[in-house]
Amino acid sequence: MEVNKQTKLTLSLETIISGAVTLGMLIGMWFTLQADIEEAKKLPPPTVSRTEYDLKDQMIRDAILDTQKDVGEMKEDIKNIENYILNSK
């Protein structure tokens, strides 16, 4: 293939075949993905039991309380550091 008088682009049979195989694989993956999406649309929505909801809620609340405790400890540490810096001058 000649793009212009000074530039030539050559394609070997190997390059053409590998490009066709790659394109075929991409097309196959696309159709597989589309089929999986359609199948997922037909499935019923997952149900969350009350126990599972309560456990997750409690876990989140515990994480918040732990975070508040850690923040309080950090504030205390910062005050101690500030006092140390001010008193060491």
With a threshold of 0.75, does the pTM exceed it?
no
3-state class of 8 per DSSP? strand
Judgement on whether residues 65 and 29 belong to the same structural domain of the protein: no
Judgement on whether residues 30 and 62 belong to the same structural domain of the protein: no
What would the pLDDT profile of 31-80 be if each residue is shown by its tens digit? 999 999 999 999 988 788 899 999 999 999 999 999 999 999 999 999 99
Judgement on whether residues 78 and 39 belong to the same structural domain of the protein: no
What pLDDT shows up at residue 48?
A: 80
Judgement on whether residues 59 and 84 belong to the same structural domain of the protein: yes
Domain span holding position 29: 1-43
If one compares 6 and 43, the residue with the highest pLDDT of the two is 43
Who contacts 3 (Cβ-Cβ below 8 Å, separation ≥6)? 9
Judgement on whether residues 53 and 28 belong to the same structural domain of the protein: no
Who contacts 9 (Cβ-Cβ below 8 Å, separation ≥6)? 1, 2, 3
Report how far residue 18's alpha carbon sits from residue 30's, in angstroms, rounded to the nearest whole number: 18
Judgement on whether residues 27 and 64 belong to the same structural domain of the protein: no
Residue 5 scores a pLDDT above 80: no
Number of domains in the chain: 2
What is the rounded average pLDDT of the residues 15-37? Answer: 96
What pLDDT shows up at residue 6?
A: 72
Judgement on whether residues 39 and 51 belong to the same structural domain of the protein: no
- Residues making up the chain, counted from first to last: 89
